[in-house]
């Protein structure tokens, strides 16, 4: 074979672009441009949403938001303090219920169940619960709590949020505990520690950053959930009531009702609430990603 | 003296022996973790059970006719699921048709084309899209997107196709208000993009680099690498990711409630307002009782069955890769 012969042909071919069939190159260009455009579109939408929230939300952003309860339709002033407080309380109760259940269930899947059939089934169902429509969870809690108790309540709202948060925590806890090397557990067991001690003081400790991340992600997920609160906590335009019975004001349902109302002052409050809740959730998501970093590096 | 030494000799092995770990606490821990895992199972069973229980009166009243009837009349107590089911399926299918190409484009961009320094920020941007609450998408859709959509798409397109067969019905807006099935589909598409894109990205990342490199090595273009190496390798799990997106699109409530128009009308045009199962439940549940409440529960039951079939298929398809 002659090594020098094809060289001139290659050069001239490359010069006029004939070595690569033009169709191939066009297809390649189309793909590259298409992919870039798709990514830009995603960034554009996020930018547009943030811009809308900041522009509309800042108009009504006053300190009164945090001190006054929601006003009547068409009146002047008022804030969303009751909704903020109600959302905080229900989200926190939700997380407080979901965290022990989620962490323990994740522990079972990662440590005890492992490859057993029961664990397989629960893992599968948990993944399904993870993406189940949240409105169905609202219907479930309505039947379970609101109807027997005869009234909407903050407790029902908190339970609905807990049901949404649990699968998120189960999933991340299991994933993070599986990353802990088996040799660490063996070392613990070799010292004579029973399984529970090994889990608590070795595996949990090693996976703690990841588990915390899961809890923060669950918090971010339930902070903005609206659908399950519609039939459980509903809303309430008066001051926050500590016994959590009856409708409890909360940001998402407040935003939903006020944004679709015909009253400008309510719409303004909805925008302010939307800005507040989105920024909180985005901040939580960013924090969760920062927390998870050292875990991945290990 | 001897008695004393004997006693010491007797006592010492007992003190030497370390106190065994308490069995009770250990098994309690195990039981607690098992019980927590069972809670997941119970909740899922509870959701199914409570919805079926609530839906029984409606199913008893209307039977299978519930699925095929398009009536939704509170005055005469006639209820049927057809409009809501059609709206749900139509908006979800539109969402996939629009969202899947974009998601795959993003996944390919992030894994193949993106320069190294931009990967993290771009990936983060897409992931943050997933964190935005659905009600915010609803507001964005209704107040920002719908007016633009009415002005620049609905009105020109309606004028263009008016009177034409087929497209004249499919793309004709009687009232170009910007809300409707297609708007819902577009908003849903934006909402499922980050999910499908991030799952697809994980799948593409798991393909051994050596496969990709050998394809480039024999002179393939990026398009050919994607088409002939990446897609065949990841196709099953990408279909799983798409199904996962479909599951989300079917059950999404708040965003759709804002932009779907909430009309009980069976229309051939995708510009016309309609309802989805979730939007109808969100709109009417609080004021409903009796047969209407039960019919809404029955709608929920149908939604449960549809989404769970989709999600089960999705999880089976993505399972193997996800666990790794």
| CATH of region B58-323, choose from 3.40.50.450, 3.40.309.10, 1.10.3720.10, 3.40.640.10 | 1.10.3720.10
Measured torsion, CA atoms of residues A207, A211, A216, A218, in degrees rounded to the nearest 10: 150
Look at residues B60, B92, B48 and name the one whose alpha carbon lies nearest to residue B302: B48
> Which chain B residue is nearest to residue A160, measuring alpha carbons?
B43
Distance (Å, whole) CA A271 – CA A87: 16
| Cα gap B298→B66, rounded to integer Å | 9
Q: For residue B206, give every residue at least 6 positions away whose Cβ sits within 8 Å of its Cβ, in sequence order, or none.
A: B234, B321, B324
Task: Check CB contact under 8 Å for A285 and B222.
Answer: no
- The per-residue pLDDT string of chain A (298 residues; one tens digit each, 9 = 90 and over) reads 444 444 444 444 444 455 667 888 888 888 889 999 999 998 898 899 999 999 988 887 888 888 888 887 777 777 888 889 889 999 999 999 999 999 999 999 999 988 899 999 999 899 889 888 999 999 999 999 988 888 888 899 999 999 999 999 999 999 999 999 999 999 999 998 888 989 999 999 999 988 998 999 899 999 988 888 988 888 777 766 667 777 888 899 999 988 888 888 888 889 999 999 999 999 998 888 887 665 444 4
Please provide residue B152's backbone torsions phi and psi, each rounded to the nearest 5 degrees.
-100, -15
Superfamily name and number for A63-297 = MetI-like (1.10.3720.10)
CA dihedral A94, A100, A106, A108 (to 10 degrees): -140
In angstroms, how far is CA A137 from the centroid of its own chain? 16
| pTM exceeding the 0.95 threshold for the entire prediction | no
Domain ranges, ordered by start, for chain A = 1-58, 63-297
User: What is the ipTM score, two decimals?
Assistant: 0.84
Instruction: List A residues 213-242 in contact with B (Cβ-Cβ < 8 A).
Output: 220, 223-227, 230-231, 234
Angle, helix B116-131 to helix A264-297, in steps of 10 degrees:
130
CB of B111 within 8 Å of any CB in chain A? Answer: no
Burial grade of B5 (CB within 10 A; 0-12, 13-18, 19 or more): exposed
* B19 DSSP 8-state letter: P
Q: How far is residue A207's CA from residue A204's CA, in Å, rounded to a whole number?
A: 5
Q: Which residues fall within 8 angstroms of residue A130, CB to CB, at 6 or more apart?
A: A167, A168, A171
Q: CB-side exposure of B33: number of CA atoms within 13 Å?
A: 25
Question: Exposure pattern of A9-46 as b/e (b: 16+ CB <10 Å)?
Answer: eeeeeeeeeeeeeeeeeebbeebbebbbebbeebbebb
Of A38, A134, A193, the CB nearest to B106: A38
Contact, A49 vs B140, CB < 8 A?
yes
Distance from CA of B271 to the nearest CA of A (A): 21
CA distance from start to end of chain A: 53
> What does the domain layout of chain B look like in residue ranges?
58-323
Q: Which residue of A has its CA nearest to B323?
A: A175
């Amino acid at each position: 074979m002659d090594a020098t012969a094809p060289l001139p042909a290659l050069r001239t071919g490359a010069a006029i672009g004939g070595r690569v069939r033009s169709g191939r190159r066009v297809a390649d260009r189309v793909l590259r441009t298409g992919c870039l455009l798709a990514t830009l579109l995603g960034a554009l939408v996020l930018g547009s949403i943030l811009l809308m929230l900041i522009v509309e939300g800042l108009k009504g952003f006053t300190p009164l938001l945090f001190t006054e309860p929601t006003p009547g339709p068409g009146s002047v002033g008022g804030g969303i303090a009751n909704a903020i407080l109600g959302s905080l309380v229900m989200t926190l109760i939700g997380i407080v219920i979901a965290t022990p259940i989620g962490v323990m269930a994740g522990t079972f899947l990662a440590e005890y169940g492992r490859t057993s059939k029961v664990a397989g089934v629960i893992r599968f169902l948990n993944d399904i619960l993870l993406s189940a429509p949240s409105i169905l969870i609202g219907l479930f809690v309505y039947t379970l709590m609101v109807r027997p108790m005869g009234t909407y309540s903050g407790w029902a709202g908190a339970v609905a949020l807990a049901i949404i948060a649990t699968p998120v925590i189960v999933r991340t806890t299991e994933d993070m505990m599986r990353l802990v090397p088996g040799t660490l557990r063996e070392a613990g067991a070799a010292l004579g520690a029973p399984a529970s001690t090994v889990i608590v003081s070795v595996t949990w400790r090693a996976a703690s950053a990841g588990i915390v991340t899961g809890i923060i992600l669950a918090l971010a997920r339930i902070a903005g959930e609206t659908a399950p609160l519609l039939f459980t906590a509903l809303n309430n335009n008066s001051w926050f009531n500590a016994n959590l019975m009856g409708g409890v004001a909360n940001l998402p349902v407040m935003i939903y009702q006020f944004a679709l109302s015909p009253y400008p002052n309510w719409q303004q409050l909805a925008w302010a609430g939307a800005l507040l809740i989105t920024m909180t959730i985005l901040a939580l998501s960013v924090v969760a990603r920062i927390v998870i970093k050292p875990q991945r590096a290990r | 003296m001897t008695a004393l030494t004997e006693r010491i000799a007797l006592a010492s092995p007992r003190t030497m022996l370390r106190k065994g770990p308490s069995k009770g606490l250990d098994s309690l821990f195990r039981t607690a973790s098992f019980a927590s895992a069972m809670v997941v199972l119970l909740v899922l069973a509870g959701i199914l059970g409570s919805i079926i229980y609530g839906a029984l009166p409606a199913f008893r009243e209307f039977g299978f006719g519930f699925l095929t009837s398009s009536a939704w009349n509170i005055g005469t107590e006639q209820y049927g699921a057809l409009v809501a089911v059609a709206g749900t399926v139509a908006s979800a299918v539109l969402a996939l048709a629009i969202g899947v190409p974009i998601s795959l484009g993003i996944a390919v961009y992030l894994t193949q084309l993106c320069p190294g320094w931009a990967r993290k920020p771009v990936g983060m941007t897409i992931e943050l899209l997933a964190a935005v609450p659905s009600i915010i998408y609803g507001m964005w859709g209704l107040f920002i997107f719908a007016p633009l959509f009415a002005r620049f798409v609905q009105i020109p397109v309606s004028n263009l196709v008016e009177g034409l067969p087929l497209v004249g019905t499919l793309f004709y807006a009687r009232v170009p208000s910007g809300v409707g099935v297609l708007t819902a589909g577009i908003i849903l598409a934006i909402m499922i993009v980050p999910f499908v894109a991030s799952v697809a990205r994980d799948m593409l990342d798991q393909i051994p680099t050596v496969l990709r490199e050998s394809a480039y090595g024999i002179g393939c273009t990026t398009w050919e690498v994607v088409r002939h190496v990446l897609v065949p390798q990841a196709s099953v799990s990408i279909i799983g990711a798409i199904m996962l997106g479909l599951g989300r699109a079917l059950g999404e409530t708040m965003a759709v409630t804002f932009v779907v128009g909430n009309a009980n009308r069976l229309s051939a045009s995708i510009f016309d307002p309609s309802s989805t199962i979730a939007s109808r439940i969100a709109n009417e549940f609080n004021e409903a009782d009796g047969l209407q409440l039960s019919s809404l529960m029955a709608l929920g039951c149908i939604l449960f069955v549809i989404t769970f079939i989709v999600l089960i298929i999705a999880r089976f398809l993505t399972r193997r890769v996800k666990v790794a």
